[in-house]
Amino acid sequence: MADNADVVAAQSAPHCSWCGSSHAAPAWSGPEPRDFQVRRCRKCDHHYTVPILGPTEIGAYYAEEYYGTKNRRFNPLMELLVGRFRRSRARRLAQFTPVGKVLDVGCGRGLTLATLRELGWTTVGCEYSATSARYAREELKLEVACEGFEPERYADGEFDAVILWHVLEHLSDARQSLETCARIVKPGGVLAVAVPNFDSYQAEWTRYGWFHLDMPRHYQHFGAPWLRARLRELGFDVVSESHASLEQNPYGWIQSILNRWGLRRNLLYDILRRESARTVKHPWREVPGQSLASVLGMFVLLPFSLAMLAAEGFGRRGATVEFYAVRTSASARTRRL
């Protein structure tokens, strides 16, 4: 007989988006949040959010505040750092394949594509949010379709590179998305994919306080070994795997620990963002005590977070993981697990 957790999982999440199984269990023992939880598929070990929201329901979680005015979320200093990270990402991609045609799925305001265009690439992007894509289309004059990742739009072997940078977890059908990439990347081409790592120290130690969990916007939760194996099954050879993201991981430690300490969830993140991108518009006025505790906590935790960046890289347990995978065969392996 199924236990109560199995009944709840079956009712809230009818199937795993990877293997189709309805047999799931809670990802972690202990108390769970009221609104959204993580389930582990007992057949293929994939993790996903329950309940699963449909396109209309999930839209409420991508309000304009999520992107900020002109898709600028942070203060000017942090925006400079964001630009540098995007340019660095574009140049790294170019190390793995000759210049060709690239698709950036969920390209945002197009900073990565703009750098790739400067390097001689033919660039194509898709971005679900019109608010997010407006800068790429109108200011940078990039070819960006304002839509989700639509498999039928792209031809077999059309691209020399495809980028899924912190996008795959936002897509409701993980299997279709990766199989589409295996089809549209030509042999010898590269898939660049970055995701939060569910097998990370951060996820294990902070659980539902983990900054990178971001439910319900994250439909999927990928462990690095799990995703590495799936890429290989689909005909990719992982040529680079990084667990030491200076852009993502140190801050993840700080915010995750603050969340676990019982401060308002992601309050420091709001403080660092522009007012147009905040959920708490005036944190210093609305929650001054918690705001002060968050900022002080940031400085206290900074040395620890940098030390853990090194530990994550050494132990291959980073809060986020970045893969560069070369397409090795002409046809994807699409056999169901």
Distance (Å, rounded) from C-alpha 182 to C-alpha 255? 35
CB atoms within 10 A of CB 240: 14
Q: What is the pLDDT of residue 69?
A: 58
What's domain 58-243+322-327's superfamily in CATH? Vaccinia Virus protein VP39 (3.40.50.150)
252 and 269 in contact (C-beta within 8 Å)?
Answer: no
Q: What is the pLDDT of residue 30?
A: 87
Q: What is the pLDDT of residue 71?
A: 61
Of residues 194, 192, 170, 195, the one with CA closest to residue 181: 192
Q: What is the pLDDT of residue 130?
A: 80
Cβ-Cβ contacts under 8 Å for 225 (sequence gap 6 or more):
199
Distance (Å, rounded) from C-alpha 145 to C-alpha 165? 17
Q: What is the pLDDT of residue 74?
A: 64
Distance (Å, rounded) from C-alpha 320 to C-alpha 297? 22
Write out the chain's pLDDT in tens, 337 residues: 334 443 333 344 458 989 999 999 999 998 899 999 999 999 999 999 999 898 888 878 877 666 655 566 666 776 777 778 888 888 899 889 889 999 999 998 899 999 999 999 999 999 987 877 888 898 889 999 988 899 899 999 999 999 999 999 999 999 999 999 999 999 999 999 999 999 999 999 999 999 999 999 999 999 999 999 999 999 999 999 999 999 999 999 999 999 999 999 999 999 988 777 788 889 999 999 999 999 999 999 999 999 999 999 999 999 999 999 999 965 444 433 3
CB atoms within 10 A of CB 89: 20
Q: Which amino acid would we find at residue 232?
A: R
Q: What is the pLDDT of residue 335?
A: 38
Distance (Å, rounded) from C-alpha 218 to C-alpha 253? 19
The domain locations on the chain are 4-52, 58-243+322-327, 250-312
Q: What is the pLDDT of residue 75?
A: 65
DSSP state of 273: B
Residue that has been written with the tokens 């999520």 in this structure: 66
Q: What is the pLDDT of residue 1?
A: 34
pTM, two decimals, is 0.89
